[in-house]
Structure 1
């Protein structure tokens, strides 16, 4: 019975708390620790350290924003690995560098803990509805153990390959997502500067097939001036930075993505906690000021 199984969450922000809600609906219990000391929904017990969470659970889900937060919550006397036992399962849903994923795998192996890098594709609406796409890297047996968890939080699990593959696939996907948004923002800015009616322009873009459903959602929000964070600009810019570093390590030329990273740095500077689609608003403001 899943009602007897406790899932431990390290990090309990906008994505993780929604994952936990879906797991609790399926009969799991949840406990959590957040490095920031913030978060919580009133129904999930918070514990004083990542190690304490790991001691209460046989499956730990990590959802933190970056490499630094991952290291702080995983290692040391109060880190999650200190509380994990041989045979436990560690699911790292964080978007981090390939190097951070490799380090966590090695540390887990030293303790006999199975580690899966499994970042997710989707924003808060998909997390809430249990329609995330899980991008899993790891051995087949470990992913089979994790599949019931994945099925509760997502609609599809992609076994991307051996450990580290999920992390690398997430960078690919977010690079495409960021580049698409930057192109949309620049093209909208041209349309507005050239005299197109604002409502006509935004409504037309919602109809055409060349724009993805994800980016259409961002365009609708930008039309309304609603940049409430589904995916904050600080996290998108961080992922683009990780992708640029990873591409450079492989000697892959990525001039388009480099330019996009600069655009998203602009968005982060303008409003780091707003949704990354705030870039559309930034570009609109630039051309409005020129009018």
Structure 2
């Protein structure tokens, strides 16, 4: 089952494709929770994720024993803990599952899933995670996946900043940026992601 409208985003076009493929469309988050054993949520931001759970006709209205809720929205550890505590207090099972990867990786099904929370729910979701990505990791308590995601993003940002500074320096001193990329390919920095960014 999928939800028609979340956080003011009119997803009717996207929903239509899923409904045509056999999914049932709910009108509220509580409709979706009622109809499913495990619900996956991946929306725009932490505030929208909280509204989906705590809002009128939200997730909490139908969370009961054995219902699983997997939060895949890019959220901070504190928000994840807040949502997780509310789900568990109603008898539900909660798993945060942060996504690492690009839009292209999503299309290719090669994302990496970083999960934390209910280990049994993580195990129950393995077939779904396998369909979405090449690997999934269970990292312990709720909040740990969000923190690991932050660490990976920090390393990524520092790497891109270093590459940008290096390219800017090459340009300032009159060296070819293409040569920089070609030389990088021959060193221990021969990383497809860095080389792709260097060619931009």
TM interval, short-chain normalised: 0.7 to 0.9
- Work out the CA distance in 1 between the residues paired with 2:139 and 2:38: 21
Equivalent of 2:197 in 206, 218, 227: 218
Q: Higher strand proportion, which one?
A: 2
1:110 aligned onto 2:92: no
Tell me, yes or no, if structure 1 residue 93 matches structure 2 residue 72.
yes
Question: Deviation per CA, 1:174-220, whole angstroms, max 9, x where unpaired?
Answer: 11111111111111111111111243334444554325332322223
Residue 35 of structure 1 corresponds to: 7
Alignment check: 8 A CA contact 1:134 1:158 kept:
yes
Aligned CA RMSD, in angstroms, stands at 2.2
CA distance in structure 1 between the aligned counterparts of 2:103 and 2:65, rounded to whole angstroms: 33
CA distance in 2, matches of 1:211, 1:81: 48
Residues 76 and 82 in structure 1, CA contact (< 8 A), matched pair in contact too: no
Q: Is 1:209 aligned to residue 188 of structure 2?
A: yes
Question: Shift of the alpha carbon at 1:32?
Answer: 5.5
Contact 2:95 2:122 in 1 (8 A): yes
> Is the Cα contact below 8 Å between 1:33 and 1:53 reproduced in 2?
no
**Which 5+ residue runs of structure 2 have no aligned equivalent?**
20-24
Task: Tell me, in whole angstroms, the C-alpha distance in 2 between the residues paired with 1:94 and 1:146.
Answer: 16
The answer to whether structure 1 residue 137 and structure 2 residue 116 are counterparts is yes
Aligned equivalents of 2:131, 2:5: Cα separation in 1: 21
Deviates more, 1:72-81 or 1:96-105: 72-81
CA distance in 2, matches of 1:158, 1:115: 16
The alpha carbon displacement at 1:108 in A equals 0.3
TM-score by length of 1: 0.60
1:150 partner SS = helix
After TM superposition, the structure 1 = structure 2 runs for residues 163-174 of structure 1, keeping only pairs within 5 Å, are 163-174=142-153
Q: Would the aligned equivalents of 1:61 and 1:93 in 2 still touch at CA under 8 Å?
A: yes
Give the Cα separation in 2 of the matches to 1:143 and 1:88.
13
TM-score normalised per structure 2 = 0.84
The counterpart of 2:18, out of the listed 35, 41, 44, is 44
Query: How far apart, in 1, do the equivalents of 2:109 and 2:58 lie?
Result: 28
Q: Distance in 1 between matches of 2:44 and 2:90?
A: 24
Unaligned stretches of 5+ residues in structure 1:
1-5, 9-30, 223-291
Could you report, residue by residue, the CA deviation over 1:156-177 in whole angstroms, capped at 9, with x for unpaired residues? 1111112222111111111111
Partner residue, 2:102: 123
Report the alpha carbon displacement of residue 109 of structure 1 after superposing the two structures with TM.
Answer: 0.8
Number of aligned pairs?
193
Which has more helix, going by share of residues?
1
Q: How big is the shift at 1:89?
A: 0.9
Instruction: Assess if the C-alpha contact under 8 Å between 2:63 and 2:91 holds in 1.
Output: no
The match for 1:155 is 134
